[in-house]
Amino acid sequence: MFDMTAAVFSRRQSSNAVNSPSSATSSSTKKSKHASSSPTSGMPTTASLDLHYLPDDKPVFACHSCSKVVALQDELVSKAFNGRSGRAYLMNSTINTSLGKIEERKLLTGTHTVADLLCASCKESLGWMYIKAPNGDQRYKEGRYILEAARIIKENNW
C-alpha cells in the first residue's frame, strides 16, 4: 500500500501557510498537532517527508472514525460529486491518508483508473484518488481526490 501520510499541497504553492516552511516556524502562526508532508507528484509513486504544521484555526475535514485531519477546506474543488455512499467532495489534495491498490472502476462518468483513499491512522476508507481519466473532458480529475461526505466530519470554524 502506498503511504500518503501527508498533503499533496504542491498545487497550491503560493499563499497557503501550510506550504511555506518559514511560516511553519513563524511566531504568528499557531503550531498544531497535525503534521503534513508534500509528495513530489499527485501520482502514487513517491512521497517526501517535509513536515509542516497546520494552524489550529484552519477549517478542515477529518476522518469520521478517528478524527484525524485528512484535508484542508482550502483544497476543496467541488461539492457536486457522488461517492459510493452519496454526496462527495473533489479535493486538490489530502493529508494523513494512504492509497490502496490501483484498479479500473466503472463510475458515473466512465471507467477511471483509481486507488482507494484510506485514513493513515485507522485505515478507514474515505473515498478514492483519480489516477487516470477515460477521456479529455474528465482529465481535470487526474491527481485529485474524492472524499465521501458520509465518511468525514468538518472541524474548526465551519
Domain of 86, CATH number, reads 2.170.150.20
Q: Using alpha carbons only, give the angle 75, 10, 7 rounded to the nearest 5 degrees.
A: 60
Question: What stretch of H or E contains 130?
Answer: strand 125-132
Q: How far apart are CA 46 and CA 39, in angstroms?
A: 6
26: which DSSP letter?
Answer: -
Our count of domains for the chain comes to: 1
As to burial, measured by CB atoms within 10 angstroms (0-12 exposed, 13-18 middle, 19+ buried), residue 61 is buried
pLDDT at 53: 60
3-state helix, strand and coil shares in percent for the chain, rounded to the nearest 5: 10, 40, 45
Contact indicator for 68, 119 with CB cutoff of 8 Å: yes
Q: How far apart are CA 125 and CA 74, in angstroms?
A: 22
- For the chain, report the end-to-end CA distance as a whole number of angstroms: 32
Calculate Rg over the CA atoms of the chain: 15
pLDDT at 59: 93
pLDDT at 156: 80
Q: How far apart are CA 138 and CA 135, in angstroms?
A: 6
pLDDT at 98: 96
φ, ψ (nearest 5 deg) of residue 92: -70, -35
Enclosing domain of residue 126: 2-155
pLDDT in tens, the chain (158 residues): 444 433 333 333 333 333 333 333 333 333 343 443 333 344 443 333 334 467 778 899 999 999 999 999 999 999 999 999 999 999 999 999 999 999 999 999 999 999 999 999 999 999 999 999 988 899 999 999 999 999 999 988 75
